[in-house]
């Protein structure tokens, strides 16, 4: 990853990743592209870890929807963002051939670039969001869709909420415990902020403020191994953006 991660730096996987990073650092990079699939109903989109124009141009080459995030820290694009413009591509579910075709089309376009543009990105060319929190189910808690006696029973079409700006009080599911949230929500500083985004109405779990989720899935194994979802808010651009992230202004949707 290009930086120490505590006691993980003695692991073989860490040493291998460090060797790859150092080799690429010596070789020199044009760009870094990390191609992903996911399990929920998500549109195709690109992610960046820096708001420099070269990163944004590389992202909008894939599509208008762009996500800016700084956590989790162990991702390829974040490590290589120190060396070259880097993006993560989310290409939808693995059984959909459209995702494979889109990735091939994008990589072909990258190979035909003489250089990555450094001029301003036009406001009309990008729809930019900022990941503000990651939501997980608390360890040891059960989650599902139809079964009784679950700690958290989610609504059946939970993955249809992805990339929708959800209003206050949107229903997410139902809890067995009506007194305490079974969700654990971490912001960019890794602080617990579940009460900022969710509340209980009896046993109904609802959204506390307008927000847009991504990566919601019906795959229970993925929910436990990774997360329930990410929460995003819009970033608005002025007429254009230069390399300075100070020109970006975060828009938090108004709570009631």
Same structural domain for residues 102 and 215? Answer: no
What whole-number distance in Å separates Cα of residue 31 and Cα of residue 29? 6
Same structural domain for residues 39 and 146? Answer: no
CB of 134 within 8 A of CB of 233? no
Same structural domain for residues 122 and 10? Answer: yes
Residues of the domain holding 137 = 133-231
| The residue to which tokens 């075709």 are assigned | 101
Cα 28 from chain centroid (whole Å): 27
3-state secondary structure of 35: strand
Same structural domain for residues 46 and 120? Answer: yes
Structural domain contains residue 118 = yes
Residue 210 has pLDDT above 90, yes or no: yes
Phi/psi at 18 (5° precision): -65, -40
Same structural domain for residues 119 and 24? Answer: yes
Query: Residue 55: its pLDDT value, please?
Result: 95
CB of 98 within 8 A of CB of 106? no
Contacts of residue 70, defined as CB under 8 A and 6 or more positions apart, other chains included, come to 49, 78, 131, 188
Residue 11 has pLDDT above 80, yes or no: yes
- % of the chain residues with pLDDT over 70: 89
Residue 7 has pLDDT above 80, yes or no: no
Confidence label for 71 from pLDDT (cuts 50, 70 and 90): confident
Same structural domain for residues 105 and 76? Answer: yes
Query: Residue 204: its pLDDT value, please?
Result: 97
Structural domain contains residue 255 = no
What whole-number distance in Å separates Cα of residue 184 and Cα of residue 205? 13
What whole-number distance in Å separates Cα of residue 1 and Cα of residue 49? 14
The whole-number average pLDDT for the span 72-94 is 90
Structural domain contains residue 71 = yes
Q: Are strands 121-122 and 127-137 parallel, antiparallel or unpaired?
A: unpaired
Query: Residue 44: its pLDDT value, please?
Result: 95
Confidence label for 9 from pLDDT (cuts 50, 70 and 90): low
> Could you count the other beta carbons within 10 Å of the beta carbon of residue 74?
13
Same structural domain for residues 92 and 209? Answer: no
Same structural domain for residues 11 and 113? Answer: yes
Query: Residue 32: its pLDDT value, please?
Result: 94
More confident residue, 134 or 240: 134
Residue 40 has pLDDT above 90, yes or no: no
Residue 5 has pLDDT above 60, yes or no: no
Same structural domain for residues 79 and 177? Answer: no
Cα 5 from chain centroid (whole Å): 21
CB of 102 within 8 A of CB of 213? no
Same structural domain for residues 144 and 117? Answer: no
Same structural domain for residues 44 and 124? Answer: yes
Confidence label for 124 from pLDDT (cuts 50, 70 and 90): confident
Query: Residue 148: its pLDDT value, please?
Result: 78
Query: Residue 113: its pLDDT value, please?
Result: 94
CB of 211 within 8 A of CB of 197? yes
CA angle 146, 151, 154 (to 5 degrees): 45
Structural domain contains residue 80 = yes
Residue 242 has pLDDT above 50, yes or no: no
- Domains in the chain: how many in total? 2
Same structural domain for residues 27 and 81? Answer: yes
The full DSSP string for 179-244 is SS--EEEEETT--B-HHHHEEEETTEEEESS-BEEE---S-HHHHHHT-SEEEEEEEE--SEE-S-
The whole-number average pLDDT for the span 109-123 is 91
């Amino acid at each position: 990853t290009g930086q120490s991660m505590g006691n993980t730096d003695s692991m073989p996987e860490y040493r291998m990743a460090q060797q790859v990073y150092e080799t690429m650092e010596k070789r020199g990079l044009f760009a870094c592209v990390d191609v992903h699939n996911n399990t929920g109903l998500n549109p195709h989109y690109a992610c960046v870890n820096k708001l420099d124009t070269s990163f944004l141009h590389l992202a909008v080459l894939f599509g208008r929807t762009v996500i800016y995030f700084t956590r989790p820290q162990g991702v390829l694009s974040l490590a290589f963002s120190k060396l070259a413009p880097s993006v993560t591509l989310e290409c939808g579910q693995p059984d959909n051939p459209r995702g494979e075709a889109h990735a091939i089309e994008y990589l072909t376009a990258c190979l035909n670039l003489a250089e990555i543009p450094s001029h301003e990105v036009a406001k009309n060319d990008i729809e930019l969001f900022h990941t503000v929190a990651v939501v997980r189910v608390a360890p040891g808690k059960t989650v599902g869709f139809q079964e009784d006696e679950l700690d958290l029973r989610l609504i059946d079409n939970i993955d249809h909420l992805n990339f929708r700006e959800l209003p206050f009080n949107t229903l997410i599911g139902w809890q067995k415990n009506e007194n305490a949230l079974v969700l654990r929500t971490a912001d960019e500083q890794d602080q617990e902020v579940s009460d900022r985004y969710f509340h209980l109405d009896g046993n109904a779990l609802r959204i506390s403020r307008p927000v847009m989720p991504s990566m919601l899935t019906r795959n229970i194994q993925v929910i436990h191994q990774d997360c329930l979802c990410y929460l995003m808010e819009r970033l608005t651009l002025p007429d254009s953006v230069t390399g300075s992230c100070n020109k970006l202004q975060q828009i938090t949707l108004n709570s009631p």
